[in-house]
Amino acid sequence: MSRWQPFNEGMEVVVRGGDETARGIIVETFPDRMVIEIQGEGNDFDLGQTVRILSEGAAGRLSAEARVVGRDTAAARIAVTCMSPGAEQREYVRVEDSIPIGVERLQPGEEDAIRARFITPPPGVLAEHAAGDEEGVRGEMEDLNPALIRRLKTIEDKLDMILAHFELEQEGMAAFPTRHVSLSGAGVKLFSEERFDVGDRVLAKLVLPLAVPVGLETPWCVAWVKEHPDRAADRWETAIRFDGITEDVRDAIIHYTFQRQREMLRSRWEG
């Protein structure tokens, strides 16, 4: 059995060692090592260097300590061998971001009636429907001008966006203030004007600003509260953990935080 389980071929990973951080894709796995193709510019990891391999999964962050045992600068690949007993499951990736979010305290008796749910279709659903439709009309579209097909796809994407915004407006989420948050698959930290108490059950509605916005709501529990008297507004720093969240809703949040992390890394490299 591979010591790399549950790392798999095709999985996107982050490689960290020294001052270097790089994105990569696992292209080969063996019982004692795996090969990672580094994405973007540079391959500055040295032979013998100790690195940490990270990847995001539904159960949280996967992490393993490794040593670089092979290096191909032309192909931008490194081979690493596992130093830890196996892949560890770590905390969820947490990103600092600004998203539309609303939080309200649940009243006694409301808790059991509230379930985590999507307000708009979850990520990938619209694409799956489009892919299914495309299979059915593939033969008919083969004779169409490629430029026309691209134009139709653009129109379809805009319609999906309009429908998502309409659903958010129906739920009153389009007018939510954009707040700075620290978001992960485990919970969220934000500054609030309202003071909550530790243990309060709250309902949070938030919008993940993807290409097609994804709205969702889920019951949460207040983990801790800290007052910042120096702040003129929103002086209550509040940490809320997901409580009663479903795995599909959590997966959507994980997908978003991992995407934002990749975008931040790419921006850092390009900058």
pLDDT (tens digit, 9 = 90+) per residue, 42-96? 567 888 888 888 876 444 567 777 888 888 766 578 888 776 544 444 457 788 9
Q: What is the pTM of this model?
A: 0.56
Tokens of 229: 């008297």
Please name the residues in contact with 122: beta carbons below 8 A apart, sequence gap of 6 or more.
214, 216, 248, 249, 252
Confidence of residue 97 (pLDDT cuts 50, 70, 90): very high
Q: Is 20 exposed, middle or buried (0-12, 13-18, 19+ CB in 10 A)?
A: middle
Q: Which long-range contacts (CB under 8 A, 24 or more apart) does 164-167 make?
A: 164/120, 164/121, 164/212, 164/213, 164/214, 164/215, 165/213, 167/119, 167/120, 167/215
- Residue located via tokens 């992490």: 63
Confidence of residue 126 (pLDDT cuts 50, 70, 90): very low
Name the more confident of 36 and 158: 36
The amino acid sitting at 81 is T
Tokens of 176: 């939510």
Report how far Cα 265 is from the mean position of its chain's Cα atoms: 14
